[in-house]
Chain A
């Protein structure tokens, strides 16, 4: 019986919070169980002990006990919330790897090194960001060694970011029930040295594939003219929409613009862009996004 190794700073910290919780819980459980046994033994019917003036209430004692529990609980909440905040919002600009889930396999698409099934290869010590979507039902990407998971939804991207700090192969498990073979929908996280990662043969890059798609669907017909907003260096910019709202052009925004273009129309333009939902697979959407991220379509 070996506990999964904690292979990142965050994983260690999660273990620490858990330990603190375990300590607090054990203390309280022992206190409660011990007191019950003690009282049952001492005040068993017929025992000759002082039973005069049993208290009906003890407001102060109760308030003190509750106060302590509240403070400890709040402390743990705060500690844990900070960690969570860091987990969800850190490494927003880390290099991305696309994960496309479907019953019952994980397609992994590394923009720089190409595709894989059920295997995510990442370099040691560097932040990486998984951008995930599902082609069918809700799945969940769970890496026990990193102590993290994130549900993977159809129709949008969810992200998971981490910094792996130990070389090795670690289990990835689907942790949102998704049908018959839910239990065998697994993958491997392969943490390799930075050098091994760099020395991988780069297959047809995503950017290349994305460019092919861009040409095939003649995006430039509109996007290099006055009828559509320009796409150069779009990624990361703040986009002004019709109606006054602003939105940051991240992966989700670009994806939405492709599958539902008339939902967020750029200010100063009309709703003329056709939708590509059903025409581009998740894989192709990812490649196109990578091409646009490269900056100069």
Chain B
């Protein structure tokens, strides 16, 4: 019997010096889980603090550091790497019939850079914290904050290089290492989404790196390109920051959309409806996403005409997203549907992403945004997409490919319950925040007007269910490693090349070359034996 890639299991050198994309994916998975817990602790402080409308539970100082930590850790050390670096790393070569990425050693370097960056930033957060918000707006961050800004920002820059190298690796791999017969139009949609994501990783991240670098220089040496007293413009920081950070949200959501396509196809047992449109819309979102950044600056002092241009473009990006939602739902039509946990997560994604995406229209609409900007409405909007969308896609994908990655099955009934609990907890936590926002509750507020107390209580109460929804998979997935039933090669009878090898796969991925189907998602054919 051939060894799986997991042998040897307890040899630390085989993990820390590996160049196997599968092991690297697991290294990422373990570390981002840790960082998620740190970010979630920040969220816990926030929701606990907001039980009081007068900052009587948590001081304003701690609150300001908590929301900064929550944002910085969740964005750069959880969401940006999550699906690409874990599921992407593990599955991309398998899905295209390759033995590894194009640059395996570069892949390991990516992980080390990620860890280095995380350690630097976490150090800053733990030795005293940062209180600028994850957006680091100048001049507060450069000239007024008394917190560990330089250190935290350095970690983000280092982690940014990790992103760039991963994106580079994925792009070259997708071009160069597809198996014979695996043409672009047969690629799983997950691969398309990773490709679009990688383009953004490579082109947007450098802008962030240099902007944050300039921030450090200004803060450390008092020579600043954003300093108004020298003729610099604090708005320039915002332009540069959002030039990266808007495409960054597409880095965060596109891979999730890719996963959802895979899950819906598998659990409706149908090829994804409108394959080409979904592939093209991934690319369209990736490219169009570069032209929207000014919609974060409608009231910042930007010209009204520029704001109008950014507004109409922000409406336009709703179209490829709507196409995807339409096609996912259409895939269900005349399918053979089962509602296992991955499918529940995928459908939850579609439902919640729709809400999140539509609330984006509120914010894209100029006059309405003047009221809603910097309020809890914005917070609700992006949490619906990032938590209701991305995080659910991650959990769904983790469940779906768990047997492939670990060779074990997870408990199905418990998993279904966990998905439902997460969905309910999520809505209780975040839906009230739309209302809070419209009622005028600004974000980053350690205390707020009294009449908003009840909505904040409901939101905070929801986090208990939400936490349960996170905890359950953590527990039963880890437990399954020891006591889960062993999985066959293809326990879900899914299509996709990764299911043509053993669970878990051997180090070289395929013992014999996989059979390339005539079209993607061949659920109308039997799986190759």
Residues of A within 8 A of B (CB): 1-4, 10, 13-14, 17-18, 21, 24-25, 28-29, 32-33, 35-36, 39-40, 43-45, 50-58, 62, 65-66, 69-70, 73-74, 76-77, 80-81, 83-85, 87-89, 103, 136-138, 140, 142, 144, 147-151, 153-156, 158, 171, 173-184, 260, 277
Contact = CB atoms under 8 A, between A and B. Distances in A.
7 contacts: A1-B435, A14-B367, A29-B351, A56-B271, A73-B315, A137-B137, A149-B299
Interface stretch (B76-84, B172-180, B319-327): B319-327
Given A62-B323, A66-B319, A76 B365 contact: yes
B61 to A, nearest CB: 6
A131 to B, nearest CB: 13
Given A29-B354, A69-B322, A36 B446 contact: no
B442 A173 contact: yes
Contacts of A44: 337-339
Interface in B358-378: 358-359, 361-362, 364-368, 370-371, 373-375
B311 A142 contact: no
Contacts of B325: 32
Contact of A177 (B140, B312, B366): B140
A14 B362 contact: no
Nearest to B363: A21
B330 interface: yes
Interface in B48-68: 55, 60-61, 64
A21 B335 contact: no
**Most chain A beta-carbon contacts within 10 A, residue among B274, B319, B334, B449:** B334
A221 B332 CA distance: 82
Contacts of B358: 21, 24-25, 28-29
B374 A149 contact: yes
B139 A40 contact: no
Interface stretch (B5-13, B300-308, B470-478): B300-308
Contact of B371 (A51, A53, A81, A147): A147
Interface stretch (B99-107, B116-124, B228-236, B414-422): B228-236
Nearest to B139: A137
Contacts of B55: 183
A36 B350 contact: yes
B46 to A, nearest CB: 13
**Most chain A beta-carbon contacts within 10 A, residue among B270, B327, B440, B445:** B440
Given A4-B439, A62-B326, A149-B374, A43 B229 contact: no
A15 B271 CA distance: 43
Given A21-B362, A36-B329, A74-B315, A13 B351 contact: no
B131 A179 contact: yes
Interface of B: 55, 60-61, 64, 131-133, 137, 139-140, 143-145, 228-229, 231, 234-235, 268, 270-271, 273-277, 298-301, 304, 307-308, 311-312, 315, 318-319, 322-323, 325-327, 329-330, 332-339, 347, 350-351, 354-355, 358-359, 361-362, 364-368, 370-371, 373-375, 435, 438-440, 442-449, 451, 454-455
B144 A136 contact: yes
Closest 6 CB pairs of A and B: A144-B440, A155-B228, A84-B366, A83-B367, A80-B365, A54-B334
B277 A62 contact: yes
B140 A80 contact: no
Contacts of A103: 144
Contacts of A21: 358, 361-362, 365, 368
A80 B304 CA distance: 12
Contacts of B375: 175
Contact of A182 (B139, B143, B332, B444): B444
Contacts of B361: 21, 24-25, 73, 76
A83 B326 CA distance: 31
A184 B319 CA distance: 41
Contacts of A54: 270, 333-335
Nearest to A13: B367
Contacts of B228: 153-156
A33 B304 contact: no
A155 B230 CA distance: 10
A261 to B, nearest CB: 13
Contacts of B301: 150-151, 153, 156, 158
A50 B335 CA distance: 10
A80 B139 contact: no
Contacts of B442: 142, 173-175, 183
Contacts of A148: 370-371
Contact of A62 (B61, B145, B274, B318): B274
Contacts of B454: 1
Contact of B299 (A136, A140, A173): A140
Given A25-B359, A88-B304, A80 B366 contact: yes
A290 B42 CA distance: 48
Nearest to A53: B334
Given A21-B368, A39-B337, 16 more contacts: A3-B438, A33-B351, A35-B329, A36-B332, A36-B351, A43-B335, A77-B366, A103-B144, A136-B139, A137-B144, A138-B234, A142-B374, A171-B440, A179-B131, A184-B60, A277-B229
B445 A182 contact: yes
A51 B334 contact: yes
Nearest to A54: B334
